[in-house]
Amino acid sequence: MRRPQWWAVVLGLALPGAGVAVAHPLETQEPGAAPPPEAEVRATADPRAGWRHEFSPAWHMATFWSKEAGSHYTFHSLSIGYLMSVNAAGPFLHLSWVIPLQARQDGRVHSVSSLYQNGGGIDLLLGWQWRKTVTAEIEFEGGPGLHMNALNLGGKPGLTNFNALQLGPGGMTVLRWRPGWRPHKVGWTVGAVGALGIDLLDPLRSNDLRIGVTLRMGVLLGVDLP
């Protein structure tokens, strides 16, 4: 949500009977209305406050090494994600649906669609973030979290399935532009996201995972509904 709305909400709560003002920006109020207490306005006017809900298409790469065979696997995928975070310091969630496109093992390159059917995965990053404002309209967000990368590729007839469930620490950064332009009272944000996971466990695969690195880089598009 954009700043004028927050002011309106605070005013609405602070001034009983002024509920009408809730849905309107400050500048539309009557000239005679009492100004809000200065300290309170300052406290709630933090542009970093509030929820961010964003849609994010991204490139997703998972590369990992196995213990038993010593193989090196890399999967390049398209991911479609939902990003959420709260306030200047608060929790965040990045949940992505992953569509694998290319699989590599020890230098051999395969098109996923030539070997597998019904393939897909989920990338989840859950953690704590902090926001900083770079300028009035540009915001930076980053923080650590716990990462999960689940992949399930159903083999075509005669071929084995390939699946993995990799867990480990991770982190993310978001650079967000929040212009003041609000067509039809809908604010919007655009930006870029980068996330990294260092995966150390795979309970599905008897911990055959030596180490894995998951990288996700993409754009984001969010809306602030009035």
Partner 1 sequence: MRRPALGTALLLGVSLLACLGPYPNVGEQLDGVDLVNGTSYIALDAGAARILILAAFDGGSRAPFTRIDEQQPRAVQTLQGSYFGDATNTLSVTFSSTTLFSLPNEASEPVSDRTGAKRTELSPPMESEALIETRTEEVLDLSGSRDVAGHYLTLLGRTAVITGTDATATACAFHLANLAVESSEARIPGFNSAGMTQYLNRVEFFQGILSGTVSVGLVGLFSPVVTTSYSDYADFEGVLLDGVQVSSTNASGDGALSGVLGFRIQRKGLPDLEGQVDYRAVSLTGGNESGDYLVRLDGGTEFAVPTGRRVPPLEQCLGL
CB of 25 or CB of 155, closer to partner 1: 155
Among 91, 142, 155, 194, binds partner 1 (CB under 8 A): 155
Between CA 85 and CA 154 the distance in angstroms is 33
Among 159, 150, 165, 172, CA closest to 201: 165
Q: Which of residues 42 and 110 has its CB atom nearest to partner 1 in the complex?
A: 110
Counting contacts by CB under 8 A, is residue 205 touching partner 1? yes
The H-or-E segment that residue 63 falls in is strand 51-66
Q: Which two tokens stand for residue 91?
A: 């929790």
DSSP-assigned letter for residue 24:
S
Helix H or strand E segment including 183: none
User: Interface with partner 1 includes 72 (CB under 8 A)?
Assistant: no
Residue 113 interacting with partner 1 (CB under 8 A): no
CA 97 vs CA 48, 164, 171: distances in Å: 28, 15, 18
212 binds partner 1 (CB under 8 A): no
Residue placing its CB nearer to partner 1 in the complex, 137 or 208 = 208
Give the tokens for residue 124: 């989840």
Is 71 among the residues that bind partner 1 (CB under 8 A)? yes
Binding site for partner 1 (CB under 8 A): 66-69, 71, 73, 103-105, 108, 110, 115, 118-122, 150-152, 154-155, 157-165, 203-206, 208-209
